[in-house]
Chains A and B, each alone.
Chain A
């Protein structure tokens, strides 16, 4: 049923139908003797919204790192909208429409909120090396302003990122991933450390994303995860353990044993 894993780039491209936003074929990542990911094979359709659940150390974030190229996979192939991106450096993957957020905010403490979002827009645009100051009418600046409003940070437009509260930094984390026409986003625990109100805002932002933008969300808060996803993949010890609709996963006794039981028991 799954196409065989092949090392030939050309063959890989030919076999891909392009119907999927993201295709993983036997993706593995070893850290020395530790197997963080082993043989993950996954298909995510364009526009699909997927939740990845699993206890700490299940390999969820490692999976994201392999997809974005933060850490290259040890073996396996990754295709993004049909194109084999396994050997591409992170910035080339991003320029093809892939985005991510980080579990622990990875922001620019010395820059203002608006400038951070501007850089996110400019990163997938032209004139990244420009020695001129961007004008207020610059197309990327205009985009940055509209994203600023979309994530409700307009009051903090010129605030230094280092002085933002935790919740605001999480919002900025999402803003950076929304910049520059993304096609697929990886959200790594976007709700971590947010207040109930902020969580509601987050769910609203995710549900308001244009339908063509698919995403994978890693989320410990089942309440958030199941409300923003159509399909759920459970991970355990670096493997895909179970897949199903949110209702199936919630009702599954094994899942409750490993994940919910482990967490609340």
Chain B
């Protein structure tokens, strides 16, 4: 995931390896070598799934962390691209299914998601703070019920099944290892793009609008247009995550885009931390691990309680999520290593 800094185009004399930093290189190598040690279950259900939800969290982090706009509709945007893949490509529900090849269906699905996101943004940028959360929640809920009741496009509550990930270059991309690398590649790409973009002109305008929209107007910026553009970019990332999600599940139904899932994305982003694009991926890993293994620890009846408790503890100890925790521990670790004999 630390490919990010390597894409920095500033011409410095320093070696790019040096710029990446040891920690980032170790992390990147570990992620690439992970399939050597992980079982198929850990590759897809934990690895792939965390990366997909990390991307969804990243799309929220872009809006909330840089733009100050908290959205509950990210899963809705991902759902739109997931449904688009089912409708434009092949499914075995005998409804629609235009049979487009993946290389045509995917760009259209992501474009549809991005435009939908921009539309949601255009509706909600007139509001601020808690009202943005409420209006996006309303949109997410409305879309959920619409998908459940509409049979012509969404095929009602059963949705679409039998959606297959493509197979090309002799690789079945839903097989454990290829799928993991596909998720890792796309997640790394989005992560790098967000990290690079955060210091771009637009990234700076977005952060400045978060800090003081009134002043940005008084500097000649069309604040609404910048916010809507941020929603469009966020929609591209959420749309890509939606494509991976539908290939992962092989199906998409209103349950995929329900309010539970919408809140999961928010929890992931908050637990991980909104200050840096790595946060949502950390949050996604913690939440996916919890959701997978909490049942084994406390039984099926109480596993949501345990997830809730962990969420509470992290937010209570560190309002900045895991990133904030790391930020506080790091100086202490550095102090330790400076001691003689350490």
A binding-site residues for B, Cβ under 8 Å: 68-70, 89-91, 94-95, 99-100, 102, 106-111, 115-116, 118-120, 122-124, 127-135, 176, 179-180
Most buried by A among B9, B200, B226: B200
Q: How far is the CA of A127 from the CA of B201 in the complex (A)?
A: 8
CB distance from A154 to the nearest CB of B (A): 20
Which A-chain residue is minimally distant from B210 (CB atoms)? A110
* Interface of chain B residues 170 through 225 with chain A (CB within 8 A): 196-197, 199-205, 207-208, 210-212, 214-223
B binding-site residues for A, Cβ under 8 Å: 8-10, 196-197, 199-205, 207-208, 210-212, 214-223, 226, 229
Query: Which residues of chain B come closer than 8 Å to A115, judged between CB atoms?
Result: 204
Q: How far is the CA of A77 from the CA of B297 in the complex (A)?
A: 71
CB < 8 Å neighbour of B219 from A120, A132, A133: A120
Most buried by B among A111, A124, A127: A111
- Contacts A94-B218, A107-B215, A176-B215 given; does A119 touch B200 at CB 8 Å: no
Give 16 A-B contacts (CB < 8 Å), ordered by A residue.
A68-B218, A94-B219, A102-B215, A107-B215, A108-B207, A109-B211, A111-B204, A111-B207, A116-B208, A122-B201, A123-B221, A124-B220, A129-B229, A131-B202, A132-B201, A180-B220
The answer to whether A108 and B200 have CB atoms under 8 Å apart is no
> Chain B's interface: helix, strand, loop or mixed, by majority?
helix
CB distance from B205 to the nearest CB of A (A): 6
- Contacts A108-B207, A119-B219 given; does A130 touch B200 at CB 8 Å: yes
The answer to whether B220 and A94 have CB atoms under 8 Å apart is yes
Known: A95-B220, A110-B208. 16 other contacts (CB 8 A): A99-B218, A102-B215, A106-B218, A116-B208, A119-B204, A119-B205, A119-B219, A123-B219, A123-B220, A128-B201, A128-B205, A128-B226, A129-B205, A131-B200, A132-B201, A134-B201
Q: How far is the CA of A123 from the CA of B211 in the complex (A)?
A: 16
- Contacts A108-B211, A119-B208 given; does A176 touch B201 at CB 8 Å: no
Query: Which residues of chain A come closer than 8 Å to B222, judged between CB atoms?
Result: 89, 91
CB < 8 Å neighbour of A90 from B197, B218, B226: B218
Query: Which residues of chain B come closer than 8 Å to A133, judged between CB atoms?
Result: 8-10, 196, 199-201
Q: How far is the CA of A108 from the CA of B207 in the complex (A)?
A: 8
Q: How far is the CA of A95 from the CA of B222 in the complex (A)?
A: 11
The answer to whether A130 and B214 have CB atoms under 8 Å apart is no
Q: How far is the CA of A110 from the CA of B67 in the complex (A)?
A: 12
- Contacts A115-B204, A122-B201 given; does A128 touch B221 at CB 8 Å: yes
> Chain A's interface: helix, strand, loop or mixed, by majority?
loop
CB distance from A197 to the nearest CB of B (A): 26
The answer to whether B9 and A106 have CB atoms under 8 Å apart is no
- Contacts A91-B221, A94-B219, A135-B10 given; does A106 touch B214 at CB 8 Å: yes
The answer to whether A130 and B207 have CB atoms under 8 Å apart is no
CB distance from A264 to the nearest CB of B (A): 33
The answer to whether A108 and B215 have CB atoms under 8 Å apart is yes
The answer to whether B218 and A100 have CB atoms under 8 Å apart is yes
Query: Which residues of chain A come closer than 8 Å to B204, judged between CB atoms?
Result: 111, 115, 118-119
The answer to whether A91 and B208 have CB atoms under 8 Å apart is no
CB distance from B192 to the nearest CB of A (A): 13
The answer to whether B201 and A129 have CB atoms under 8 Å apart is yes
Query: Which residues of chain A come closer than 8 Å to B210, judged between CB atoms?
Result: 110
The answer to whether A107 and B212 have CB atoms under 8 Å apart is yes
Q: How far is the CA of A248 from the CA of B317 in the complex (A)?
A: 63
The answer to whether B217 and A91 have CB atoms under 8 Å apart is yes
Which A-chain residue is minimally distant from B10 (CB atoms)? A133
CB < 8 Å neighbour of B215 from A106, A122, A127: A106
- Contacts A68-B218, A70-B214 given; does A111 touch B208 at CB 8 Å: yes
Which A-chain residue is minimally distant from B209 (CB atoms)? A108
Query: Which residues of chain A come closer than 8 Å to B200, judged between CB atoms?
Result: 130-134
Query: Which residues of chain B come closer than 8 Å to A90, judged between CB atoms?
Result: 217-218
Query: Which residues of chain A come closer than 8 Å to B223, judged between CB atoms?
Result: 91
Q: How far is the CA of A119 from the CA of B203 in the complex (A)?
A: 11
Q: How far is the CA of A118 from the CA of B204 in the complex (A)?
A: 10
Query: Which residues of chain B come closer than 8 Å to A102, judged between CB atoms?
Result: 215, 218
CB distance from A183 to the nearest CB of B (A): 13
Which A-chain residue is minimally distant from B201 (CB atoms)? A130
- Contacts A108-B207, A111-B211 given; does A131 touch B218 at CB 8 Å: no
Q: How far is the CA of A184 from the CA of B143 in the complex (A)?
A: 49
Q: How far is the CA of A105 from the CA of B332 in the complex (A)?
A: 36
Q: How far is the CA of A107 from the CA of B219 in the complex (A)?
A: 11
CB distance from B54 to the nearest CB of A (A): 21
The answer to whether A131 and B197 have CB atoms under 8 Å apart is yes
Query: Which residues of chain A come closer than 8 Å to B10, judged between CB atoms?
Result: 133, 135
CB distance from A148 to the nearest CB of B (A): 16
CB distance from B242 to the nearest CB of A (A): 22
